[in-house]
């Protein structure tokens, strides 16, 4: 059961790495945020790069736990990074919805700001991390 939960976390974190990686690379190459959205920044970098780092760290810690189930550092890393991901993406999702950079004329090609999709995946990862710790 625990191994299956870790595999789900791994798949979700890989999906997060791919999505945030696409957003990051797109912004760095074209200079424009994907899907025609506004692009929040933190310390002169698009926030999607921080999401990429968090998802990547969760992915690596999950791989470590699949290989070495008793690895306490990987367990704590996975837990704390999932919490950080929920808080970080939750903050920017809130900003995008209630305080959008583009004002009230925002257009989201995916229906919602991409930060919200990251938030949903981070919440799912967090829930599975908690379940895997029982």
117, part of any domain: yes
Query: How many domains are contained in the chain?
Result: 1
Instruction: List for the chain the helix, strand, coil content (%; round to 5).
Output: 75, 5, 20
What single-letter DSSP state applies at residue 77? H
pLDDT digits (tens, 9 = 90+) for 9-18: 999 999 999 9
Backbone φ, ψ for residue 35 (5° rounding): 60, 20
Structural domain harbouring 11: 2-19+44-132
61, part of any domain: yes
80, part of any domain: yes
Mean pLDDT of all residues in the chain?
A: 82
Tokens of 83: 């919490």
User: Measuring CA to CA, which residue among 125, 46, 117 is closest to residue 84?
Assistant: 125
Question: Over pLDDT 70: what percentage of the chain?
Answer: 78
pLDDT digits (tens, 9 = 90+) for 8-47: 999 999 999 998 888 778 777 776 666 666 666 668 767 7
32, part of any domain: no
Q: Are 132 and 9 in contact (CB under 8 A)?
A: yes
pLDDT digits (tens, 9 = 90+) for 70-111: 888 888 999 999 999 999 888 877 777 766 555 555 666 555
């Amino acid at each position: 059961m625990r191994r299956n939960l870790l595999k789900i976390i791994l798949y979700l974190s890989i999906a997060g790495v791919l999505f945030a990686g696409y957003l990051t690379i797109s912004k760095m190459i074209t200079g424009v945020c994907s899907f025609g959205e506004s692009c929040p920044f933190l310390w002169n970098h698009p926030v999607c790069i921080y999401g990429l780092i968090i998802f990547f760290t969760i992915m690596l810690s999950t791989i470590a736990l699949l290989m070495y189930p008793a690895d306490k550092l990987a367990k704590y890393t996975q837990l704390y990074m999932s919490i950080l991901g929920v808080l970080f993406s939750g903050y920017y999702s809130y900003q995008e919805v209630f305080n959008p950079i583009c004002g009230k004329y925002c257009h989201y090609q995916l229906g919602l700001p991409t930060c919200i999709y990251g938030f949903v995946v981070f919440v799912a990862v967090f829930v599975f991390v908690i379940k895997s710790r029982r």
